[in-house]
Each structure stands twice: as structure tokens, then as C-alpha cells.
Amino acid sequence: MLELPVLGLLKERSMHGYELRKQLGTMLGPFWQVSWGSLYPALRRLAKTGAVEKVAEPAPKAKPRRTTTRSTTTGMSAGRRKTVYRITPAGEQMFLDLLEETAAAVDAEHFTLKLAFFRYLAPEARLNLLERRRAYLTEKLAQFRANLRELGERIDSYTLSLQTHSMASTESDIKWIDELITEERRAAGTAGDLRNV
């Protein structure tokens, strides 16, 4: 699942691994902790397919070493070269293919990743993904309600609290998706009005 956000960030600019990991955390929020053990294998897979390439960044200029009373010679210390990753044309195409793929776009993780890069999708594709997510959430909400009816008085207070919280979160998400859909349709209507001028 890291391939999409990694390619999306590299589409914006080339980065080294540390910066890429930091940007992933900033973009996806504190609940998405990307480990080195998952980031570098993802980068290797992308490099193997030709989606990204490694470029050695020039080493920083050497800095003079401090002299001590024991040594009067001033040496130069060379910095380490950093590997920078950049997206290739094949990576640009892979990114678009992953972004436009709709089969697994409705669960929370896939949807969140796609939403972070919605600006690269056509308006119709954005609307399609939003409507699919709303349908998925509406179905989940119906399942929560059916579970509560089925369990009735047999449910303990903790399970009831968990179910109630999940329902409230799902209702909140549906409201949010409805707002995004409304905004998307409004923007599409404005663009349509401009095309007709």
C-alpha cells in the first residue's frame, strides 16, 4: 500500500529516504507511522519495476576540522553522499493506474491514500470514488443497526458503547463524504458553466 503515497510524493519532488518518511507521516497523519522496514522495501520494489530511480546526491563540501593543541594540521572531512529517489515516466503511469484503480478504494486505508492525491484525478473519477465510499459506509451503518437489533438486551454495556461509537463515527464519515460530494458537484457545475460561456 505504500507504493501509491511514495509515488505521489515523488511526483511532487525528488527526496531522500528520511525526508520521504517524514513527508509520509505529515501527509497521512500521526496514525500512519511508516517504518524504515516498510519504506525501503517499497522503494526497492519500485526501483526494481523501474518506477523510481536512485540518484546519488553530491556529497556536501568538506568542512575544515578543528585543530587541537596536540595537532597543528587542519584536515578536511568529507560528508556522506545521500541517495535521492525520483519518479520515472513509468512511475508516473503506475501512480495514475494505482490512483484510478477502484476495486479496493472503499476501505478506510485505501480511500485515505487516494484522497490525499485526489487533485491528480479527473472530476468524474473523484466523484465515482466518493460515491463508492459513501455506499460502503451506508452499508456498514446498516450492519451496525442490524447487529444492535439482533443482540437486543443480550449486549453488555461495553459492547453497546463500542457499537454506538462505531455507528457515530460512521455517520460522521457519511456526512463528511456527502459534503465532499456536494463540493465536487458544485465545482463540476461551475466548470461546466465556464465551458458554456
**pLDDT attached to residue 74:** 46
CA torsion through residues 95, 99, 102, 104, sign: positive
Indicate the pLDDT class of residue 92, thresholds 50, 70 and 90.
Answer: very high
Query: How confident is the model over 128-155, as a mean pLDDT?
Result: 90
Query: How confident is the model over 90-108, as a mean pLDDT?
Result: 85
More confidently predicted of 194 and 28 = 28
Indicate the pLDDT class of residue 10, thresholds 50, 70 and 90.
Answer: very high
Indicate the pLDDT class of residue 27, thresholds 50, 70 and 90.
Answer: confident
**pLDDT attached to residue 60:** 61
Residue in this structure with the C-alpha cell 519518479, named with its chain if needed: 87
**pLDDT attached to residue 36:** 77
- Classified as helix, coil or strand, 162 is helix
Q: Which fold has domain 1-58+82-121?
A: Arc Repressor Mutant, subunit A (1.10.10)
Q: Is the pTM of this model over 0.85?
A: no
**Total H helices, total E strands in the chain:** 7, 5
Residue in this structure with the C-alpha cell 460512521, named with its chain if needed: 170
**pLDDT attached to residue 86:** 95
Domain boundaries along the sequence of the chain: 1-58+82-121, 122-195
- Give pLDDT tens digits for 28-67: 776 667 777 888 899 999 999 999 999 887 666 655 555 5
- Give pLDDT tens digits for 77-91: 455 678 899 999 999
Indicate the pLDDT class of residue 72, thresholds 50, 70 and 90.
Answer: very low
Closest to 104 measured CA to CA, from 119, 94, 114: 114
- Give pLDDT tens digits for 166-190: 999 999 999 999 999 999 999 888 7
More confidently predicted of 100 and 70 = 100
